[in-house]
């Protein structure tokens, strides 16, 4: 049972292909199911202690994992019962069913237990749950002190995170072999609870990974302020937003941060204030220009955006600027671009799409030839080359004014520090989430910017 941070994320088809490759190399599906069931039994034993366990088994291989786990739990001592929604159908699940020598109760009439293990459906779910199944599942979970899902909570779509039924929320989900998009995308992720990976000896490879703590070493012994990264934040109509972003860039580790625009006197005194003209933007020491926080959407804002787009410096585009730019204008840029839209800004920039958030972000990244940070409770970071990083949900207290300005500043600092756009964006998202975690409830964006220092520690 290991954390999913940094691990590969596979779709149902990619997982099946990985399984087939393992089978072709000599590891049978029964062996894989034994490994999965043994891993589930081990995890359940550790989490459930001496409490009675009810394992719910479906007709496919997810159910097969459940029968193996139940048999192993029984052999290890805890009190176990099994309830099934249907007879097993696959050869591996039929063989696994034969290992369970106890009764198999009907789902509709089985009594609840303090610990429920859901092995009804996994990656093979192909349509909405029948009402009687979802009613029973809700009944068991509502009566349990601990609800554990095998691979995925039954009723969520593996690849896009859609809910295919009226689902309860689980405490723990044991991802078999690899994390799946549904463990991270909403609305399904919130139903998974804590997700832990159970490796089953299948080689998993993917362009998509789960966000992990970035490797951010202290500055080299001979570092100076410009080698640590210089960030230029373009100030627009609302001075406070640019100031927050600039403070975030400083606390995230940039060595030199300046605000370009009409000056705002006062603290922090380490913040440099300068006029926004072409010569300021042409400074070759600038590692990242940030435009958008509090920019406004008027002609003055458009002129500032034109100036920013004309530079050959790496650029982070946030907030209002996302309403003024078009994907096509970014194509010819001679330097990297990172866009940080929330759902509304994403729709304004790329038009609403009915695909899932991961697919939409990857398509947008290719279209704009930029790295996209598609923000929300399931932030997706996508690079133009197809790679992507999925962030587990961060603190819901991040839903506060100025939080996005802080994120944009943190990302600009990471980009100026020399990371690739994908790594810089991922590091900024991680620092932002970690700062929020450290702050606990009801912080304000100013606190968040300052807390980036501690998050880097
Ligand atoms: N991919 C792998 O490497 C491994 C997968 N294993 C397990 O296998 C699972 C996938 O197994 P399957 O492909 O058999 O799929 P599932 O066990 O998820 O379910 C598929 C079965 O359910 C039926 N079904 C689908 N949606 C339904 C609905 N809404 N109502 C009623 N019936 C429905 C299908 O007709 C099929 O019979 C994984 O989630 C995992 O638990 C493990 O056994 C070991 C290795
Ligand atoms: K399941």
Model confidence over 251-289: pLDDT tens digits?
Answer: 999 999 999 997 667 778 888 888 888 888 889 999 999
Tokens for 345, please give them.
Answer: 């800004």
Query: Which atom of ligand 1 is the closest one to the Cα of 63?
Result: 17
Cα–Cα distance, 251 to 454 (Å, whole number): 9
Mean pLDDT computed over 178-189:
97
CA of 349 to the centre of ligand 1 (A): 38
219-223, 243-247, 396-400: segment of lowest average pLDDT = 219-223
pLDDT at 165: 86
Q: Which ligand is nearest to the CA of 28?
A: 1
| The listed CATH number (3.40.50.300, 3.40.1190.20, 1.10.3720.10, 3.30.950.10) that belongs to domain 230-456 | 3.40.1190.20
Tokens for 83, please give them.
Answer: 């309830």
Q: Which residues pair with 231 in a beta bridge?
A: 257, 288
Residues listed for the chain? 457
**Does residue 32 line the site of ligand 1, with CB under 6 A?**
yes
Which of the 8 DSSP states describes residue 178? S
Alpha carbon 449 to chain centroid distance? 21
pLDDT at 85: 96
**Does residue 136 line the site of ligand 1, with CB under 6 A?**
no
Whether residue 28 is annotated as binding a ligand: the answer is no
Mean pLDDT computed over 210-239:
90
Map out the domains of the chain as residue ranges: 2-209, 230-456
Give the confidence band of 219 by pLDDT, cuts at 50, 70, 90: confident
Is there a contact between 255 and 228 (Cβ–Cβ < 8 Å)? Answer: yes
Q: Indicate which residue's Cα is closest to atom 33 of ligand 1.
A: 125
ipTM of this predicted structure: 0.96
Q: Where are the beta strands (DSSP E) in 180-251?
A: 194-198, 208-210, 230-234
Pairing of strands 172-176, 146-150: parallel
Measuring CA to CA, which residue among 292, 251, 252 is closest to residue 268? 251
Whether residue 124 is annotated as binding a ligand: the answer is yes
Instruction: List alpha helices for 148-265, DSSP H.
Output: 189-192, 239-252
Q: pLDDT by residue (tens digit) across 101-133?
A: 999 999 999 999 999 999 999 999 989 999 999
Percent of the chain surpassing pLDDT 90: 85
Query: Which atom of ligand 1 is the closest one to the Cα of 89?
Result: 37
Is there a contact between 281 and 289 (Cβ–Cβ < 8 Å)? Answer: yes
Which CATH architecture describes the domain 2-209? 3-Layer(aba) Sandwich (3.40)
Cα–Cα distance, 141 to 144 (Å, whole number): 5
Tokens for 457, please give them.
Answer: 């520690």
Asked if pLDDT for residue 352 goes beyond 80, the answer is no
Task: Calculate the average pLDDT of the chain.
Answer: 94
Percent of the chain surpassing pLDDT 70: 100
Identify which has the larger pLDDT, 351 or 148: 148
Whether residue 324 is annotated as binding a ligand: the answer is no
Whether residue 126 is annotated as binding a ligand: the answer is yes
Mutate to test the pocket of ligand 1, among 58, 163, 166 (most ligand atoms within 8 A of CB): 58
């Amino acid at each position: 049972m290991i954390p999913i941070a940094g691990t590969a994320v596979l779709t149902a088809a990619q997982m099946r292909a990985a399984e087939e490759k393992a089978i072709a190399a000599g590891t049978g599906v029964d062996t894989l199911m034994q490994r999965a069931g043994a891993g589930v039994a081990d995890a359940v034993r550790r989490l459930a202690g001496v409490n009675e366990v009810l394992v719910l088994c479906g007709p496919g291989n997810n159910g097969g994992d459940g029968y193996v786990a139940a048999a192993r739990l029984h052999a290890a001592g805890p009190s176990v019962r099994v309830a099934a929604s249907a007879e097993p159908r696959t050869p591996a699940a039929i063989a696994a069913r034969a290992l369970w020598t106890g009764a198999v109760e009907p789902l509709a009439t089985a009594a609840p237990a303090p610990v429920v293990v859901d092995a009804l459906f996994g990656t093979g779910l192909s349509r909405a749950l029948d009402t009687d199944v979802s009613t029973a599942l809700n009944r068991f979970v509502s009566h349990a002190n601990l609800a554990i899902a095998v691979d995925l909570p039954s009723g969520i779509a593996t690849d896009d995170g859609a809910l295919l039924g009226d689902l309860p929320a689980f405490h723990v989900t044991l991802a078999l072999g690899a994390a799946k998009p549904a463990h991270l995308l909403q609305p399904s992720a919130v139903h998974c609870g804590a997700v832990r990976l159970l490796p089953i000896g299948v080689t998993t490879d993917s362009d998509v990974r789960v966000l992990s703590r970035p490797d951010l070493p202290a500055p080299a012994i001979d570092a100076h302020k410009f080698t640590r990264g210089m960030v230029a934040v373009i100030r627009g109509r609302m001075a406070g937003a640019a100031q927050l972003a600039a403070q975030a860039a400083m606390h995230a580790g940039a060595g030199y941060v300046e605000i370009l625009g009409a000056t705002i006197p006062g603290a922090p005194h380490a913040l440099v204030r300068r006029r926004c003209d072409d010569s300021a933007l042409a400074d070759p020491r600038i590692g990242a220009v940030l435009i958008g926080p509090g920019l406004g959407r008027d002609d003055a804002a458009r002129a500032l955006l034109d100036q920013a787009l004309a530079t050959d410096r790496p650029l982070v585009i946030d907030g209002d600027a996302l309403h003024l730019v078009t994907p096509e204008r970014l194509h010819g840029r001679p330097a990297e671009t990172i866009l940080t839209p929330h759902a509304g800004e994403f729709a304004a920039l790329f038009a609403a799409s009915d695909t899932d958030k991961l697919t939409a972000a990857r398509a947008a990244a290719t279209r704009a030839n930029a790295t996209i940070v598609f923000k929300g409770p399931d932030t997706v970071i996508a690079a133009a080359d197809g790679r992507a990083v999925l962030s587990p949900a961060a603190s819901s207290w991040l839903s506060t004014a100025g939080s996005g300005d802080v994120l944009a500043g943190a990302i600009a600092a990471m980009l100026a520090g020399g990371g690739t756009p994908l790594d810089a964006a991922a590091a900024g998202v991680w620092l932002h989430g970690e700062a929020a975690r450290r702050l606990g409830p009801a912080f304000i964006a100013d606190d968040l910017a300052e807390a980036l220092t501690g998050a880097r520690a």
